[in-house]
């Protein structure tokens, strides 16, 4: 059995870049999964499958989101809830910490504007904050894990910087959500053997990459393949059927 681990960044109306799937296409993709009999699983279930401790009864998928963009909350989560689909969100804790407002607007700007807002200290306009994360975490459909503190290329960091990025983000998520943060997603898919060893020493039980491919029984839990989803339903259908 092969399990697809899908990953998204933005879900909004701005088509044309490599990190955005339009809300319309996202809805079509999730509806397709549902119509084809897929059930969603959690990151914990995926790791149990890899370890040989869990065997799905049918077709399953793990849906993940990188960066914790606020448009996920407004545009993706209502669609996921419609079909009772789980999802895993990898949060950049430095951005989450920067969100101080309790009033959120569905601005959903494009990716370039989002980056400018984050860099100018306005992460609260475009990122999920702790309040929303706690609200969603109680839902049992959604869980949150580390995407480091500041989303830097981990292979470029000094040893103490890498330890801080991995350790502090884990600590903060556990402090805020009150449960273990067992998994890490590498920013930009950037890691090396030293980074993998550091993650294991800090206490992560697995890490998620951007290496394209499906997960199988016996896969390395610290080298979880994922499929970056494109803004196309036809591509989506083709990619899922390629190795099924």
pLDDT the model gives residue 101: 59
> Could you please report the per-residue DSSP string of 170-201?
HHHHHHHHSS---EEE-GGG---HHHHHHHHH
pLDDT in tens, the chain (244 residues): 999 999 999 999 999 888 999 999 999 999 999 999 999 999 999 999 999 999 999 999 999 999 999 999 999 999 999 999 999 999 999 998 777 655 566 778 899 999 999 999 888 889 999 999 999 999 899 999 999 999 999 999 999 999 999 999 999 999 999 999 999 999 999 999 999 999 999 999 999 999 999 999 999 999 999 999 999 999 999 999 987 6
CA neighbor of 229 nearest in space, from 36, 1, 4: 4
User: Coil, strand or helix: which one is 168?
Assistant: helix
Q: What burial class does residue 234 get, using C-beta atoms within 10 Å of its C-beta: 0-12 exposed, 13-18 middle, 19+ buried?
A: exposed
DSSP 8-state secondary structure symbol assigned to residue 98: H
User: Coil, strand or helix: which one is 160?
Assistant: helix
Tokens, residue 71: 């448009």
pTM, rounded to two decimals: 0.95
Can you list the domains of the chain with their CATH numbers? Answer: 2-149+210-242 (3.20.20.370)
Tokens, residue 158: 């000094």
Q: pLDDT tens-digit profile of 21-73?
A: 999 999 999 999 999 999 999 999 999 999 999 999 999 999 999 999 999 99
């Amino acid at each position: 059995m092969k399990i697809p681990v899908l990953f998204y960044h933005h879900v909004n109306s701005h088509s044309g870049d490599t990190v955005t799937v339009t809300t319309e296409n996202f809805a079509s993709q999730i509806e397709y999964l549902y119509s084809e009999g897929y059930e969603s699983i959690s990151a914990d279930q995926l790791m149990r499958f890899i370890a040989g401790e869990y065997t799905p009864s049918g077709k399953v998928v793990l849906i993940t989101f990188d960066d914790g963009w606020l448009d996920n909350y407004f545009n993706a989560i209502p669609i996921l809830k419609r079909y009772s689909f789980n999802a895993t969100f990898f949060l950049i804790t430095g951005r989450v910490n920067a969100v101080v407002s309790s009033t959120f607007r569905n601005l959903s700007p494009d990716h370039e504007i989002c980056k400018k807002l984050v860099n100018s200290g306005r992460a609260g306009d475009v990122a999920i904050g702790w309040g929303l994360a706690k609200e969603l975490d109680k839902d049992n459909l959604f869980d949150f894990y580390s995407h480091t503190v500041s989303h830097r290329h981990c292979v470029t960091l000094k040893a103490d910087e890498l330890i801080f990025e991995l350790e502090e983000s884990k600590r903060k998520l556990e402090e805020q959500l009150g449960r273990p943060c067992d998994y890490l997603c590498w920013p930009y898919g950037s890691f090396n053997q030293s980074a993998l060893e550091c993650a294991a020493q800090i206490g992560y039980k697995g890490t998620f990459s951007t290496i394209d491919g499906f997960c199988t029984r016996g896969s390395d839990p610290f080298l979880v393949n994922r499929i970056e989803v494109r803004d196309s339903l036809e591509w989506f259908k083709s990619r899922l059927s390629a190795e099924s």
